[in-house]
Chain A
Amino acid sequence: MVKANYIRMAAVAMAFAASVGAGSFLGSLRVSHAASISQTFSGYSFNAGCNNAIDAASMVFTQGSSSIYEIQVHAARASHGGYSYVAGLDQYFWNGSCSLAHESPATGDDFVSRWHFRYGGQIFTSDGGYASIASPHFDQRVFNPFPQHCTTTFDGARANIEYHWITDGGEHPTFYYSWWGNTYAFSKCGTLVASNGWNTYIDMNGVPYGS
């Protein structure tokens, strides 16, 4: 009788363990549903454990087509600032896990000073459609004594994209800001560089945000 009870208790315990697994699976189906932009991305991927999170993420492209090349194609246009050079990826973004950047548009090659951003996406979000996170920055060419790129600003580079995409080219009139608090400071060639913590969202197709 005692032995039988032990067997039953073991069976109950095993049933509990198995059902935890089953529930976890069901729960994972639940969380695989689209999350909001703020739940999907981290502007603070360095602290999320991502390798080589070398630049602050301060921009999100929303309402994309789901093609990872879409932003690259737009960026290369003269009306969008002429980010026609494809630079190195080597930055990870947090979008639920650490993911290597998909594309790396820049206004020049490795041997000149340039505007540059890397981006990762496109991830479907509940409030921004297909969205990508980006890390605009300006690379100042220096010789130290070997040629290097020293980042001098994040916010200035974000403004450069805002100017060309929203104001000058005018193809992306729908945008908004929110505070991410992504102000973590980096030392770049001895100089402190940090974002002011604001994030710009630029709509890719001009459809009013949320519509």
Chain B
Amino acid sequence: MFLVIIFIITLNYMAISGRLDTFNRLLFIQGIVLFGVAFRELHHIDLLNLFFILVETLVFKALIVPYMLNRIVKRNNLRHETEPDISNFASLFIVSAIIAVSFILAYNLHDSHLKIVYFAASVSALFTGLFLIISRKKIITHIIAYMVIENGIFLLSLALGSEMPTIVNIAILMDLFTSILILSIFVNRIGDAFKTVQADNLNELRD
């Protein structure tokens, strides 16, 4: 419960934070929280499983991704603001509303196998991520929001309690890792081609 509360607080903080490095730190915190949650939910301490969640949460989500994002910020000399389209108050309000609705929704589900708290937190993360993508202009913020969505999905799979086979888990992690890698390559390319990294520049393709 405590961990989930921290997770929810990071979501709220993301809504009002104006600096990219704060976003990075929040992603780091989310990674650690997810490790804690996953560790608690381990049914039986199996070395392979333990190693796997260690890699996925601590190494990948908490260290590698924030590090890569940080490098993109430095390389493209991004100004340290996320430039939201709407005011901080409005986005805080919307994210809080998302969280409230998710919890009300989750507690009205009568499903014996579902861990309600995780389910609610994950749904909040999914919609917060989508909201961040819609309301922010910099495409690096979009990647961060994508990671928030992925964190939400990770929580959702924990809420389920059922486990994918290890080979599938490894394939999924490889995909995630490569996608972040390719996304960051493209951000750098966009930075070189357009001199700024704003989503507004990408408007040549249309009918």
* Genuine A/B complex: no
